[in-house]
Amino acid sequence: MQKGSFFLGKSSRMSHIGLLGICFLSLVAGALECPLQISPQSVVVRYGDSVSVNCSTSVTHDGMGWESTKGGVPLSKASLITWRVSQLTDWEIEPPFCYINYGQQQQCEVALPVTIYKTPDSVSISTANQAMTEGNQYELQCDIHNVAPAQNLTVNWYKGETLVNQTNFTDNTKSPVNKIIRLPIHPDRADDGAQYRCEAELNLGEEGPQPHPKNTSEPLSITVHFKPTIHKLPSTVSVVRGYSKVVVCKSEGHPKPTISWSDGTNTVNGENFTITESTAENLTCTATNAVGSSSRSVTVVIQENITPIIIGIVCGILLVISVIFIYIYITCYKKNKMGHYNFKKPKASKGLLAQPAQTP
């Protein structure tokens, strides 16, 4: 029995705490949770499109309704009511809300966030100077007309297929806006002919259209002018006296550079210059275009014509060798003459041996 009374005692204490807890929870729940389900819980609607949202309850009530500047539903005994607008064209629409009267004069409401969007009428790209010069800074401009809402707009800048910059906006204007965005660029020679474009992207979250609506400008090609550079020119050229050699000065630049050669007294236009023994020691190639010019010097070395000397030396060597051979031949011949009998003897014996066979 002691056990039982103890059990009873504990149970009553627990139920006291339980009752308090339930009271507290229902108070909190009454303040925080309204017995309404709205579906979907938020909407993203294209300007001018239709929209409908259900509001339902599972509790018995004294009436519920939708409060809205458009498509409101008056107090109703139904447990499912629909807010419906066939053409949503009010940019500044107040978020509609569904309300319910229930229990002992309790009322609560749930608001519906509404986002109205519009893709831009046009997206265009431009620049003040389409012909640019390497080393300077320029600006590209993107014009976006009539887009909403600004805070969900992202402007993407592309160079070719590469995303080079991105701009987001913080203004919370709900109605359409025009945006002008500028992108500073520092083009170099590799960017000559590069194509830029800008793109307006609307990121409207999970409820919004997928994929994100994107509108892109026509591509803009830029022209980059740059100073000429001279490459692959030897710093020294040697020419044999009496002969000539052509040196070629190749240059890269935009616009195409004009090239000239100068040895201080004569100037020759064109890439090629013929060096002879009368060319001055210091020769300069200059490449020039509208952006600037650059020069490279070539040192001319005239080599004495050593061919006759070489021929002389070769002749001399040949002469010496000939003399040596003649000498050797003569000495050998003498020796041969002396040893002639020794060699001739067997030959003669051979002949003698053969002869008897021929003349028996």
Ligand X SMILES: *[C@@H]1O[C@H](CO)[C@@H](O)[C@H](O)[C@H]1NC(C)=O
Contacting ligand X within 283-312 (CB under 6 A):
284, 297
Q: How far apart are CA 209 and CA 200, in angstroms?
A: 14
What one-character DSSP code corresponds to residue 304? P
Nearer to ligand X, 267 or 303 (CB): 267
Shortest distance in whole angstroms from residue 226 CB to ligand X: 22
Footprint of ligand X on residues 156-215 (CB under 6 A)? 165-166, 168, 183, 203-205, 208, 213-215
Q: Are 154 and 120 in contact (CB under 8 A)?
A: no
Is residue 298 within 8 A of residue 237, CB to CB? The reply is: yes
Q: Report in angstroms how near the CB of residue 300 gets to ligand X at its nearest.
A: 10
Closest CB to ligand X among 143 and 271? 271
**Eight-class DSSP state of 292:** -
Interface residue with ligand X among 154, 156, 229, 258 (CB under 6 A) is 154
**Shortest Å, Cβ 160 to ligand X:** 15
Q: Specify the pairing of strand 258-262 against strand 267-269.
A: antiparallel
Q: Which is nearer to ligand X, 152 or 260 (CB)?
A: 152
Shortest distance, CB of residue 14 to ligand X, whole angstroms? 42
Find the binding residues for ligand X in span 34-63 (CB under 6 A).
39, 44, 52, 54
User: Using CA atoms, how far apart are residues 357 and 360, in angstroms rounded to an integer?
Assistant: 6
Q: Which residue in the shown chain puts its C-beta closest to ligand X?
A: 205
Q: Report the Cα–Cα distance between both ends of the chain, in Å, rounded.
A: 168
Q: How far is the CB of 284 from ligand X (least distance, A)?
A: 5
34 vs 298, beta carbon nearer ligand X: 298
Question: 321-344 burial string, b = 16+ CB within 10 Å, else e?
Answer: eeeeeeeeeeeeeeeeeeeeeeee
Q: Does 151 bind ligand X (CB under 6 A)?
A: yes
Alpha carbon distances (Å) from 286 to 231, 234, 281: 12, 14, 16
Q: Give all strands (DSSP E) within 222-356, no chain letters.
A: 223-231, 236-240, 245-248, 250-254, 258-262, 267-269, 272-275, 282-288, 293-303
The CA-atom distances, in angstroms, between 89 and each of 38, 210, 276, 283, 284 are 22, 22, 86, 78, 74
State which residue, 90 or 106, has the beta carbon closest to ligand X.
Answer: 90
- At closest approach, how far in Å is the CB of 134 from ligand X? 19
Q: Which two tokens stand for residue 214?
A: 């994107």
Residue among 84 and 189 whose Cβ is closer to ligand X: 84
Nearer to ligand X, 194 or 225 (CB): 194
Binding residue for ligand X (CB under 6 A) from 41, 50, 244, 272? 272
What single letter denotes the amino acid at residue 2?
Q
> Could you say whether residue 270 binds ligand X (CB under 6 A)?
yes
CA atoms within 13 A on the CB side of 278: 3
In the complex with ligand X, the residue whose CB is nearer, 199 or 254, is: 199
Interface with ligand X in residues 217-236 (CB under 6 A): none
Number of residues that bind ligand X (CB under 6 A): 31
Burial category of 210 from C-beta neighbours within 10 Å (exposed 0-12, middle 13-18, buried 19 and up): exposed
Q: Which is nearer to ligand X, 73 or 225 (CB)?
A: 73
CA of residue 285 relative to chain centroid, distance: 37
CB of 99 to ligand X, least distance (A): 18
Q: Per CB under 6 A, which of residues 86..145 are in contact with ligand X?
A: 115, 119, 121-122
234: left (phi over 0), alpha (psi -120 to 50) or beta: beta
Q: Does 76 bind ligand X (CB under 6 A)?
A: no
> Which residue type, as a one-letter code, is found at position 152?
N
The residues that touch ligand X, with contacts defined as CB under 6 A, are 39, 44, 52, 54, 82, 115, 119, 121-122, 151-152, 154, 165-166, 168, 183, 203-205, 208, 213-215, 246, 248, 270-272, 282, 284, 297
